[in-house]
Amino acid sequence: MATGRGLEVYLDLLSQPCRAVHILLNCTKIPHRVRTVALRRGEHRTPDFTKLNPMQKVPVMVDNGFVLTESDAILKYLATVYDVPEHWYPRQPERRARVDEYTAWHHSNTRPHTAKVFILEVLLPAQSGSQVDEERLIRALSQLDDTLDKLESMFLRRQPFLCGDDITVADLLAVCELMQPVGGGRDVLQDRPQLQRWRSRVESAIGDAFERAHAVLFALRDRRKARL
């Protein structure tokens, strides 16, 4: 399945990490080809895709035969190997370490806590036809609130972006994750003006790549609203 012809990425834009990769590629105009893997149809479990990534997860990058999984690794590889503005993943050791600090924290905080809200509010009811488990959802929202508090106090503080004065791959991972509950009609930043201003700065920095990456999520939100 790895063709060895240029850069290919295997994505499903309902996946938050896939959207981060999609945005970086389009912002930086790195030539690439997108191969869609529809998670809802189980295409990540096909024999061909399993050969490519035995973990059966997206995103996956194939760069002239070099296969790489995990969004964090893919984003940093692209920013390191291709001719993109240095701010995405700075070369200066301390600035780069700040990005690594957030991305390490992200995978045990922002990602799981945001995903749990979306799963409880949207995915599980859609799959089973049952009502939202309000007690579990309240606990999940409380955990997410703690994470959002730390995003404000630990990472943003008085700086415009998570890791300094300019956008980095850390901001892409975070903003895509925090947009996920929007698919269910919930804006988790609604009562957090500091984080809302940060999100606006990120959207402004990446332009229409933000809308393009999130179009499928906005469509899911609109369909869900129409059914309510």
Q: Evaluate whether residue 1 is within a structural domain.
A: no
Mean of the pLDDT values across residues 178-205?
95
Mean of the pLDDT values across residues 146-159?
96
Q: Are residues 77 and 58 in the same domain?
A: yes
Contacts of 120-123 with CB under 8 Å at 24 or more apart are 121/181, 121/184, 121/186, 122/181, 122/183, 122/184, 122/220, 122/224
**How confident is the model at residue 223, as a pLDDT?**
84
Torsion of the alpha carbons at 16, 141, 120 and 162, rounded to the nearest 10: 10
pTM of the complete model: 0.94
* Domain coverage including residue 74: 7-84
Report whether pLDDT(227) > 80: no
Instruction: Report the percentage of the chain scoring pLDDT > 70.
Output: 97
Report whether pLDDT(4) > 50: no
Report whether pLDDT(102) > 90: yes
Mean of the pLDDT values across residues 106-119?
96
Contact 122, 116 (CB under 8 A): no
**Per-residue confidence band for 5, with pLDDT thresholds at 50, 70 and 90:** low
Per-position b or e across 32-56, b if 16+ CB within 10 A of its CB: bebbebebeeebbeeeebeebbeee
| CATH number reported for the structural domain that contains residue 192 in this entry | 1.20.1050.10
Mean of the pLDDT values across residues 96-110?
98
Closest residue by Cα to residue 183 from 228, 219, 136: 219
Q: Are residues 14 and 61 in the same domain?
A: yes
Q: Are residues 74 and 118 in the same domain?
A: no
Which helix or strand (DSSP H or E) is residue 8 part of?
strand 7-11
> CA–CA separation, 159 vs 163, rounded Å?
8
Q: Which of 57, 84, 111 is the last residue of a domain?
A: 84
Q: Encoding tokens for residue 36?
A: 């869609």
Mean of the pLDDT values across residues 88-94?
97
| CATH number reported for the structural domain that contains residue 27 in this entry | 3.40.30.10
Average pLDDT, the chain: 94
Contact 13, 22 (CB under 8 A): yes
| Residues in CB range of 3: below 8 A, 6 or more apart | 62
